[in-house]
Structure 1
Amino acid sequence: MTLAGKTAVITGSNSGIGLGIARELARAGADVVLNSFTDREEDHALAAALGEEFGVAARYIKADMSKGDECRALIEQAGACDILVNNAGIQHVAPIDEFPVEKWDAIIAINLSSAFHTTAAALPMMRAAGWGRIVNISSAHGLTASPFKAAYIAAKHGVVGLTKTTALETAEEPITANAICPGYVLTPLVEAQIPDQMKAHNMDRDTVVREVMLERQPSRQFATVEQIGGTTVFLCSPAADQITGTTISVDGGWTAL
């Protein structure tokens, strides 16, 4: 399939999962808009290099996903949004009774409210174009829970609910909305944590990955950013025209337990 002629906006996409998704959409021929809250030369250079590599139009737009007006402005500045991928997210770990209020507010804003704002801004563009795909990056923690991650889990469960509502509101239109629920994904941020875990547990790399980091992931393998990107491309394909309002787990069996 080809996504030539489509424009994809991916939030939180100058690294990690977001960048992996942007690369796979560009590989499929979509023009891409990268985003994060910084505005550095390397951000714009990253977009330029991606565009050159895949022969598509690619640019970077700064927008702080904790601010609703900037979320909506991102879509407006993009000028077109056939494919919207809500990926931006942050995390904080603490017991509920010790959870900093400012961390709760930031996680809900960036992980959940941003998806509401971008979707609200993108839907009129999709309707005008006669086609649209919304892919929300939730998490295995959008379907299950762990202690000490109250805000993240509340937000990711909320993303699943928002996805279902969006799908119902667009069910009779050529627009779909789905959520991808990754388990542990090997990103540069996760890779950087492995040496510290090796020291803390006095284990070699393979053992600490299998027995500590991937304890809850039955496959004992990380998902990859390319796999999350490939799943996103599939949801934009004709094969997925009747897939809407659902979740796709890419979690090595985590949520099967």
Structure 2
Amino acid sequence: MSGVRVAVVSGAASGIGRAIAQRLQGDGWRVLAVDLRPDEAGPGEPFAADLTTREGNREVVDAALARFGRLDAVVANAGFQHVAPVEEFPEDRWDALVALLLTSPFLLAKRAWPALAESGDGRFLAVASVHGLVASPFKAGYVAAKHGVLGLVKVLALEGASRGISVSALCPAYVRTPLVEAQISDQARAHCLPEQRVLEDVLLAPQAVKRLLEPEEVAAAAAFLLGPDGRAVTGAPLVLDLGWTAR
């Protein structure tokens, strides 16, 4: 199918999602920019949805098809974090993390699958985090969900191969986003450290390169995976971890 390509990007109001929406729009895509509280002034066409519900995920795909008449890519990026020891981890936060980080990508793929197949070059991209490959203490819900989404990506890639759908994941280390900035006080409490030491002694400690990634770096990797040069990448993550997993 020819014409302007269309993408859904979840969690598009800030951070990585906003950067991906902006990059795709700059590359000529039409973007449905989905968030619980969308930024009306942000890139793409804003759409409000609660992706912790089945209805919210269905509405997103239906809205993209109604507005644009097609759907070529889904970027499942929406997420949040909760930091707590396992014996204190709130069960409702566990449920919400799994719903948004793992169940939502499944539901978006399920709903979008026919349109992605019709595209002829459909793409599904999950922003999975380096925590899809490794673990950190006090993040039971986030790490479990991100590991699960990499398994989902493998299954979707196998099912999508015969239908022209490529499925991949991004696994970035810590990115300079509101999500990371909001963790610092929680990490300080969990590790009994002053906040000023958390970035160096906790967040960046596993990395060979001691810096935060910028959202635009992750967006550039997403643009590669969603573009013509990324067609060969399916069923695998692209790791942007600044040497974390080299140890």
If the length of structure 1 is used for normalisation, what is the TM-score?
A: 0.85
Which residue of structure 2 aligns with residue 27 of structure 1? 26
Contact 1:13 1:22 (C-alpha < 8 Å) held by counterparts: yes
Q: How many residues of Structure 1 are paired with residues of Structure 2 in the alignment? A: 237
Question: Deviation per CA, 1:68-99, whole angstroms, max 9, x where unpaired?
Answer: 12111111111132110000111112222222
Question: Deviation per CA, 1:171-190, whole angstroms, max 9, x where unpaired?
Answer: 12321000100110011443
Asked if 1:116 is matched to 2:106, the reply is: yes
- Structure 2, unmatched stretches of 5+, are none
Summarize the alignment of residues 1-257 of structure 1 with structure 2, pairs less than 5 Å apart. Answer: 5-38=4-37, 43-46=39-42, 50=43, 58-79=44-65, 80-191=70-181, 201=194, 209-257=199-247
Contact 1:8 1:31 (C-alpha < 8 Å) held by counterparts: yes
What is the distance in 1 between the residues matched to 2:198 and 2:13?
Answer: 28
Quote how far apart the aligned CAs of 1:4 are: 6.7
Report the CA distance shift for 1:240/1:189 in structure 2 as closer, same or farther (over 3 A). Answer: closer
If the length of structure 2 is used for normalisation, what is the TM-score?
A: 0.88
Moved more, 112-121 or 231-240: 231-240
Report the CA distance shift for 1:93/1:211 in structure 2 as closer, same or farther (over 3 A). Answer: closer
Contact 2:81 2:183 (C-alpha < 8 Å) held by counterparts: no
Residue identity (%): 41
What is the distance in 1 between the residues matched to 2:182 and 2:98?
Answer: 25
Contact 2:80 2:179 (C-alpha < 8 Å) held by counterparts: no
Contact 1:10 1:32 (C-alpha < 8 Å) held by counterparts: yes
Report the CA distance shift for 1:254/1:63 in structure 2 as closer, same or farther (over 3 A). Answer: same
Contact 2:83 2:183 (C-alpha < 8 Å) held by counterparts: no
Question: Deviation per CA, 1:109-128, whole angstroms, max 9, x where unpaired?
Answer: 01110000111111111112
Aligned CA RMSD, in angstroms, stands at: 2.2
Q: Following TM superposition, where does structure 1 have runs of at least 4 consecutive aligned residues deviating by more than 3 angstroms?
A: 188-197, 200-203, 207-213
What is the distance in 2 between the residues matched to 1:202 and 1:68?
Answer: 38
Contact 1:4 1:29 (C-alpha < 8 Å) held by counterparts: no
Quote how far apart the aligned CAs of 1:212 are: 4.3
- Structure 1, unmatched stretches of 5+, are 51-57
Report the CA distance shift for 1:192/1:142 in structure 2 as closer, same or farther (over 3 A). Answer: closer
